[in-house]
Structure 1
């Protein structure tokens, strides 16, 4: 079995693959002050809760955009699983060519999502990841990552509203039945969700226009991606497990399995 881990700015997501089947996945808040023991024991308890034998974990792969967490997390894998994890970064086999101005600036999470989308759905395509930030990545038919756009995530936008204004409350992010809002909460929800839908539709339209390819498929993932995917025809596929799938694909490539 293989432990697949994506360490993001907001959450750490952990999954377990048995052969090619994702048999469990969990989410925890990212905190840089956690020790290796806290990470190790927490993951062991998750596995125990799902009746997964940790002794059968024979591989670990990690992608991370939070460098401060990596020392503790890597030590946790070594101490509790006796495994030196494979880290997504320069020199690792992905099957993707990064043709940007500075490939080393590209976040590991973006690479993982691109790998999964290209391997599963083929190119050319646009990959949208609704995370702490929302990213739009353009991948060619030949598997080249050529262009990327980054915008504030939905939650960041929502937090800015209630943190920076004295009379606006913290709200649940959901799509109101109508954009015609008659109270403060639904007016905020309408502005956030419908405004974000507008952003998606315009950016996707503009990317297809500048790439001169109206047939590019759009694959979405990330926590709030489901709300957006259900609200616009600009997104062709929503895949909640895209990052897990990408990590497993990269692991197999580097272990000589594909």
Structure 2
């Protein structure tokens, strides 16, 4: 089986694949001070909850946007699982040119998402090649643009909704900390509702506006795929998003491992 590990700034997503089938998905809080042994213990316990052990893992692939975490994870997999993980980064074949300047500055997670989005949504039912835009609601809200060719063209990075909520609380003395949820009405009749409206519907507006501008620059009706924490809630409020895909990152890791198997 293949172990896929996507290390984000807030959470680490872990998937176990048998062939193309995602057999289980796990999530751990990312710890920047993980040691090799601590990660191995956390991984073993998480896999055990789903009925898997280290003996079932034959290969591994990692994408990380948290540099201090990468080394301990690779070493934990080598020492305790007995696999040399493929790490997504410069030199890994992605199946498309990266038109970013310089290419190495693109986060590994964005390349992973681009590969999966193109494979899953880059063709119409009639077989026509389509451009794809990935909207990832993570610690940052990112937009990644993949042409129909395909090429990774670049994208947009905006503060995530959690960062914005924290900034309101930290910088405005009279405003409380609030959860980011959809309020009953857009017009808030108390401070909490007003803040929740600004955060939630503000991000719906952000997504709609950015997608309209990106599609305008592309000159076509690119497919928009949302993933990450708020993906389903935001997609429910707008017609600008065509698909929601919760397993996009893990599927991208599997595809990249397939392209690069033997190069770990």
Could you state the TM-score of these two structures normalised by the residue count of structure 2? Answer: 0.94
How far apart in 2 are the matches of 1:180 and 1:3? 46
Report the Cα offset of residue 167 of structure 1. Answer: 2.2
2:151 is equivalent to residue 144 of structure 1 = yes
RMSD, aligned CA = 1.1
For residues 176-195 of structure 1, the aligned pairs below 5 Å read 176-195=183-202
Aligned to 2:33: 33
Report the Cα distance in structure 1 between the residues aligned to 2:225 and 2:77, rounded to whole angstroms.
32
Cα deviation for residue 177 of structure 1 reads 2.3
Pick from 236, 241, 251 the counterpart of residue 247 of structure 2: 241
How far, CA to CA, are the matches of 1:158 and 1:53 in structure 2?
Answer: 39
1:165 equivalent in alignment to 2:165: no
> Is residue 208 of structure 1 aligned with residue 215 of structure 2?
yes
1 CA distance for matches of 2:80 and 2:193?
47
Would you identify which runs of 4 or more consecutive aligned residues in structure 1 move more than 4 Å? none
- Per the alignment, in what secondary structure is the counterpart of residue 98 of structure 1? coil
Quote how far apart the aligned CAs of 1:185 are. Answer: 1.1
- The aligned residue for residue 127 of structure 2 is none
Matched, 1:129 2:132: no
Whole-Å Cα distance in 2 between the matches of residues 31 and 165 of structure 1?
A: 29
**2:234 corresponds to 1:228:** yes
Counterpart CA distance in 1 for 2:31 and 2:43 is 15
Please tell me whether the aligned partners of residues 44 and 53 of structure 2 are also in contact (alpha carbons under 8 angstroms): no
CA offset digits 1:166-225 (Å, max 9, x no partner): 222221111112101111111111000111111111111111112111x21101111111
What's the secondary structure of 1:170's corresponding residue? coil
Rounded to whole Å, the distance in 1 between the matches of 2:9 and 2:72 is 16
The unaligned stretches of length 5 or more in structure 1 are: none
Q: Which secondary structure state, in structure 1, belongs to the residue aligned with residue 249 of structure 2? A: helix
Tell me the SS of whatever aligns to 1:24.
strand
Aligned with 2:260 (options 251, 254, 258): 254
Q: Is the partner of 1:146 in helix, strand or coil?
A: strand
TM-score (norm 1): 0.96
- For residues 109 and 26 of structure 2, the distance between their equivalents in structure 1, rounded to whole angstroms, comes to 17
Cα contact 2:112–2:249 (8 A) shared by 1: yes
1:113 alignment partner in structure 2: 113
1:228-249 deviation per Cα after TM superposition (whole angstroms, max 9, x unaligned)? 1111110000101100110011
